[in-house]
Amino acid sequence: MDLRKLANDWQYDPALCAHLIAAANSAAYLGPGQPCTNLNGALTRLGGLTSVNLAISQALRQTNTQPDALLMTFVHGHLDVAERLAERVVLLAQQCGLDPAPLQSAALLHRMGELCVLYLTQIWENQGNTADEEMLTYAVRDFAAPFAVRLKAHWGLPMVLRELIGAAYALPPMQVRREQVVMRLAAAMNNGEPEADIERLQRLAGLT
């Protein structure tokens, strides 16, 4: 089984990436090894057959959801943001001579809270309820962040990966690693943040 092909096919599916990385970091697979922080590493550690079985299990859990047009618009919007950030941060990591894989994984996962809110909204709608655009906007705004925190803990994502995900939104006040600066820079560039802030982050990343 070609793990490289699996990685190429699955790299832009945040839920599946998170599921496999979490499995690779579980007690059954981690052992005395280093934490796994990217999809390629997870596939290598789990092996092809186990990875496919876990992917099938993940897919079966989602077969009862058929998002309506409004929900799909929200979902695709957040997936597009995650994919654009992943593309940007890989390029910046390569310029800095850093391993782009953990940064790419973090970028793809940084909207997990928003996607979780939308997934649960779909379950709620399947029970006969309805949600309009205003309700969805407020739900994502109010609940995405706490959901993301709980998900990262529940999945057992490595701390280094959690820190990279957080850096997409803000840098920690102390002990900032270069990888975190690169993630924050990529997000700032994609968000169209002030040029002065981008230039400061470029200096911190060593890209001046």
Same domain? For 101 and 16 the reply is no
Is residue 76 domain-shared with residue 102, that is, in the same domain? yes
Which domain covers residue 25, as residue numbers?
3-61
Neighbouring C-beta atoms of residue 62, cutoff 10 Å = 12
Does one domain contain both 172 and 120? yes
Under the banding of pLDDT at 50, 70 and 90, the label for residue 87 is confident
pLDDT in tens, 156-167: 888 999 999 999
Q: What span, in angstroms and rounded, lies between the C-alpha atoms of 128 and 51?
A: 35
- Specify whether 103 is located in the same domain as 168: yes
Interval 12-70: pLDDT, tens: 888 899 889 988 988 778 777 788 999 999 999 988 888 888 887 777 666 555 667 88
Lowest mean pLDDT among 31-35, 40-44, 148-152, 182-186: 31-35
pTM of the model: 0.79
Where is the domain boundary, 42, 61, 80?
A: 61
pLDDT at site 61: 64
Residue 147 sits in the same domain as residue 78: yes
Residue 80 has pLDDT above 60, yes or no: yes
Q: What is the pLDDT of residue 69?
A: 85
Return the pLDDT at 50.
84
With cut-offs at 50, 70 and 90, classify the pLDDT of residue 204.
very high
Same domain, residue pair 108 and 192: yes
pLDDT of residue 62: 63
Read off the DSSP letter of residue 36: P
Residue with tokens 């709980």, as numbered in its chain: 150
Structure tokens at 53: 């079985």
Start-end of H helices in 31-177: 39-46, 48-61, 69-96, 100-109, 112-126, 133-155, 159-167
- How many Cβ atoms are within 10 Å of 77's Cβ, its own excluded? 13
| CATH code of residue 147 | 1.10.3210.10
| C-alpha gyration radius of the chain | 18
Domain count, the chain: 2
Clarify whether residues 74 and 49 are in a common domain. Answer: no
What is the C-alpha separation between 152 and 157, in angstroms, rounded? 6
- Same domain for 127 and 30? no
The mean predicted confidence, pLDDT, of the chain is 89
Segment 109-133 shows an average pLDDT of 90
From 33, 61, 89, give the residue that closes a domain: 61
User: Of the residues 39, 61, 83, which one is the last residue of a structural domain?
Assistant: 61
Q: Which pLDDT score is estimated for 75? A: 87
Residue 9: is its pLDDT beyond 80? yes
| Residues 21 and 75 placed together within one structural domain of the fold | no
Ramachandran category for residue 176: left, alpha or beta (phi over 0 → left; psi -120 to 50 → alpha): beta
Q: What are phi and psi of 160, to 5 degrees?
A: -60, -35
82, 39: one domain: no
Report pLDDT for 160. 92
On whether both 180 and 87 belong to a single domain, the answer is yes
Q: Which two tokens stand for residue 61?
A: 């859990």
Q: Is 5 exposed, middle or buried (0-12, 13-18, 19+ CB in 10 A)?
A: exposed
**Distance separating alpha carbons of residues 179 and 183, to the nearest angstrom:** 6
73 shares a domain with 10: no
Mean predicted confidence (pLDDT) in 102-121: 90
Largest CA distance in the chain: 55
